[in-house]
């Protein structure tokens, strides 16, 4: 059997703009329920139909998952020879399928990009819209691709000086992490939905920690915001300096958690997607 190669994205699903002020635990439960209640819900747009299919629950590695398909049915045009002339023919709703795995407990989503059929941006858009179509009370979600945090952390710590930072963050969901909850409180206290910040000190440089300490609670607001991007709550740009490279910009969007994996059948594909999801959860736990 020939192996197939797939491209997979790992994302954090964030409850962002709820119509009703649900407790976050209830909101997370409603997302899972919406995915499971997929039957009969379709988005028609242009010559395409988008829907969930073959959704089911499973347990693996002592965790609960929801697996399924985001399907796109699309009219495809081809030509056939009639009376020595090529005439256009429309073949209705040829389906493309992107498989996904979602963990309700961690809110991590892994999906497969289908080249030239279902792009990563299209998957994120229609996954979000379908959930809202199924249960509009959930409101809009922010689905943010996670980062290769080990590489990102190493690159940041190699900077001899951090000269400037820019962050675009959303309100983090409730977290057991002190630094994430500090960001959440800062944004909520100002009644903001999104938080854009910039800080710079081109002379002395910016500090990640208040003191020389390995204790995460000693992070400055800058260290906290870097960790918020690692956790899946936004994007950032860090400008710094090394003697070897000189001035250097690190964009978190260039360190996305994208995996290219070979698989041989649907069972193998599902297993590898779950393993990518578990790896993504470990990646979220790496902090500055």
Cβ burial, residue 98 (10 Å; 0-12/13-18/19+): buried
Span 21-50, pLDDT tens digits: 556 677 788 999 999 999 999 999 988 999
Span 11-24, pLDDT tens digits: 999 987 655 555 66
Name the pTM for this structure: 0.87
Q: CA quadruple 114, 120, 123, 127: dihedral positive or negative?
A: positive
Longest dimension (CA), the chain: 82
Span 130-140, pLDDT tens digits: 999 999 888 88
Going by C-alpha positions, the residue among 76, 36, 14 that lies closest to residue 228 is 14
In the chain, where the domains are located: 4-146+256-284, 149-254
Helical pair 120-134 and 24-36, crossing angle rounded to 10 deg: 100
Going by C-alpha positions, the residue among 39, 22, 32 that lies closest to residue 139 is 22
Going by C-alpha positions, the residue among 45, 51, 26 that lies closest to residue 139 is 26
Cβ burial, residue 227 (10 Å; 0-12/13-18/19+): buried
């Amino acid at each position: 059997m020939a192996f197939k190669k797939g491209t997979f994205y790992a994302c954090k699903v964030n409850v962002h703009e709820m119509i009703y002020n649900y407790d976050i635990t209830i909101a997370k439960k409603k997302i899972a329920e919406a995915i499971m209640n997929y039957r009969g819900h379709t988005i028609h747009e242009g010559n395409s139909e988008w829907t969930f299919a073959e959704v089911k629950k499973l347990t693996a590695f002592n965790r609960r998952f929801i697996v399924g398909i985001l399907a796109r049915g699309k009219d495809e045009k081809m030509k056939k020879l009639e009376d020595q002339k090529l005439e256009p023919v429309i073949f209705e709703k040829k389906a493309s399928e992107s498989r996904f795995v979602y963990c309700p407990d961690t809110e991590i989503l892994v999906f497969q990009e289908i080249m030239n059929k279902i792009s990563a941006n299209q998957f994120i858009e229609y996954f979000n819209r379908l959930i809202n179509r199924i249960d509009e009370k959930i409101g809009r979600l922010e689905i943010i691709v996670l980062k290769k945090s080990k590489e990102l952390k190493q690159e940041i710590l190699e900077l001899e000086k951090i000269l400037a930072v820019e962050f675009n963050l959303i309100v983090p969901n409730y977290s057991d992490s002190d630094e994430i909850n500090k960001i959440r409180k800062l944004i909520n206290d100002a009644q903001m939905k999104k938080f854009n910040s910039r800080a710079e000190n081109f002379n002395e440089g910016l500090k990640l920690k208040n003191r020389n300490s390995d204790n995460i609670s000693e992070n400055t607001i800058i260290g906290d915001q870097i960790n918020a991007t690692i956790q899946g709550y936004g994007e950032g740009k860090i400008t710094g300096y090394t003697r070897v490279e000189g001035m250097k910009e690190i964009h978190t969007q260039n360190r996305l958690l994208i995996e290219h994996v070979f698989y041989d059948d649907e069972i193998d594909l599902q297993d590898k997607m779950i393993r990518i999801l578990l790896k993504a959860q470990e990646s979220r736990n790496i902090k500055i």
